[in-house]
Structure 1
Amino acid sequence: MTVSQRLAELRQQEEELVFARFDNHDAWRLGSLIADHAISSGFGVAIDIRRHNLVLFRCVLPGATADQEEWIRRKSASVLRFERSTALLSEQFTDFDPLQRGWLAPEDYTLASGSFPIRVRGAGVIAAITVSGLASDEDHQLVVEGIRKYLKTVGA
């Protein structure tokens, strides 16, 4: 897949995966859905849904390490700042690394895939959902598949 094809795919995901509404109960149900899938797949991941510094859902499965906390914090900070998934940001910044040029502090942000914006129709980005513990692209896929399945169940 070319870079432009990957960018188109990631943009399409963000256009498609929009919530009609999202509250604390939705955070619990979405996070639990992803956690159940991760458990049945034997993934040692951490899952986090947050509105800036307010954690709405957190699950740390066996096999996840303390490092996942740092990855989650930095991935979600990137999503909440730019209102784009870290996978999309990573693809967009192929020719320019904002972490190396002093634009973004590497201790606060990362472009590693696995965090995705919770976008509500008419309200914009209100939260970030993040998975950490697998390879970056696998973290991203786990989030995207979870959101897609959740939106089908709630009829959004």
Structure 2
Amino acid sequence: MSAADDIALVKKQEAELVLPVFDEAVAYEIGSAIRARALAENLSLVVDIRTWDRQLFFTATAGTSFDNAEWVRRKINSVRRFQRASYRLVLERGEAPFPPQSGADPADYVIAGGGFPIRVTGAGIVGALTISGLPGRDDHGVAVDALCDHLRLDKKSFALPKQ
């Protein structure tokens, strides 16, 4: 698959992985499912699910560190500012830091996969589901898989191919 094909698929994910409702219970359900997967597969992950004004779910599994939480914070900022999955930024721009003229300070923003916008029917993007611990494409895939599972959609039709 080419980068253009990957971008088109991420845009499809962003457009179609839309929640009918998003609240504390939904955040807990999605986050708990990701944690259960991480434990079952022995994945070292930090997971943060939030609206823009507050964190609704956070977990860290063995093998993670403060650095993972910092990556999550910076990915959240990127999703919020650019209103797209942080992995789409990687595909569109590469992983180099934002240039100084962008005003996106690398201390607060990062181009790395794992941040996914939470879109709600009728409301638009209200927050982010963000993961850190795996390579960026895999962090992104865990988020997409969790949303597919929650929405009872076929993960295969939304999954980026393995590289």
1:102-113 matches, cutoff 5 A = 102-103=101-102, 104-113=104-113
Q: Deviations over 1:21-77 (max 9, x none)?
A: 111110011100111111100001110012235110000111111101110000011
Equivalent in the alignment of 1:22: 22
Q: How big is the alpha-carbon RMSD for the aligned residues of Structure 1 and Structure 2?
A: 1.6
Equivalent residue for 1:48?
48
Long gaps (5+) in structure 1: none
Name the CA distance, whole Å, in 2 between partners of 1:15 and 1:38. 26
Whether the aligned pair in 2 keeps the contact of 1:52 and 1:77 (CA below 8 Å) is: no
Q: 1:136 to 1:97 in 2, by over 3 A?
A: closer
Indicate the residue corresponding to 1:125 in structure 2: 125
Matches of 1:145 and 1:28 in 2, distance apart? 16
Deviations 1:94-130 (A, max 9, x none): 4x95613431110000110001000001100011010
SS at match of 1:147: helix
Match of 2:86? 86
Gaps of 5+ in 2: 154-163
Question: In the TM superposition, what is the alpha-carbon distance from 1:87 to its structure 2 partner?
Answer: 0.8
Q: Give me the whole-angstrom Cα distance separating, in 2, the residues matched to 1:62 and 1:72.
A: 16
Within 2, Cα distance between the matches of 1:4 and 1:59?
33
Alignment: residue pair count: 152
Aligned to 2:135: 135
Aligned to 1:73: 73
CA distance in 2, matches of 1:82, 1:134: 22
- Aligned-pair identity in percent equals 36
